[in-house]
Amino acid sequence: MEKTFDSIGFLKDLAEELIDGFRKAGKATTPVLVGSAREKEVRNKLELIFPQSIGIATGCVIDSFGHTSKQTDIIVFEKDICPVFSINDTPETTYYPCEGVIAIGEIKSTLNSKDLVDSFSKIKSVKKSKRFLNDKTCWRKYCSRQTIQGANNQYYSQNEKSNDQIYGFILCEKIDLKLGTFLNKYSKLITNEESHLLPNIIVSLHDGIFVYLDSENNCTKEDKNNADNIYHVVNPDGTFQFLLSKLNYYINRGRTTDVLPFEKYIIKNSTLPGNGTMKKI
């Protein structure tokens, strides 16, 4: 029996359980079933860590301008605030307004060229969602109903500021390419793409972490803005643990727009029309 609780050791065990869960999922009889089992394992592990106010799901992301994303393996959202629209209570046909979505992820068994392109495409389809914004100096923290009026230099921008974006990650068991080949394909995919539409991180449980790097200042970046390199490293404290720390950062430091835009998903105009019938009381 331990005298004190070791949270670092607990998460190490959790990461090992995830790797073992990926191995067990590989015993399923079709690629679709293998993928579903691994996605479920990741969602279960994330639900164990994050507060009750954070939901972990799968489905599609929508905006109030008519855009619908592709189906996404992992959706991290504001469970206590965000309305959810589900067709026949089916997870894959459940839709989440982008203002309430914190992060999204693609789960792959082995990440090859085809899966890399597919993951980029799905994450881009979510990040293209446009959050409704009346005043760019007004924003709120995730899971808060309080809107903050910031200074002009604190303006909200999905395109320019990583903390104002939906965080996108790819998580796989291993990479099914030589490292040099993988980096070349990764580099080609991001070369002509807008920064705010790209994944923020790729995490392989066996091969390490891939993030963006500003080599001149020797610092990692949350997105491609002001970065000139892809940085690959094996984190001694664990790759899954590093992903958890990033998700926790965005849950606590990320920003979204006012909670009021959720009304736009429920009724087009909440003001009653002026041509009704009156009866004096």
Residue pLDDT, tens place only, 32-74: 888 888 888 889 889 888 989 999 999 999 999 999 999 999 9
Q: How, if at all, do strands 101-111 and 167-175 pair?
A: parallel
Q: What is the DSSP string of 132-185?
A: --S-TTEEEETT----EE--GGG---TTT-GGGSPEEEEEEEEESS-HHHHHHH
DSSP letters, 89-104, are T-GGGEEEEGGGEEEE
- pLDDT, tens digit, 9 for 90 and up, residues 114-148: 999 999 999 999 999 999 999 999 999 999 999 99
The pLDDT tens digits for 19-30 are 888 888 888 888
Answering whether pTM is above 0.85, one says: yes
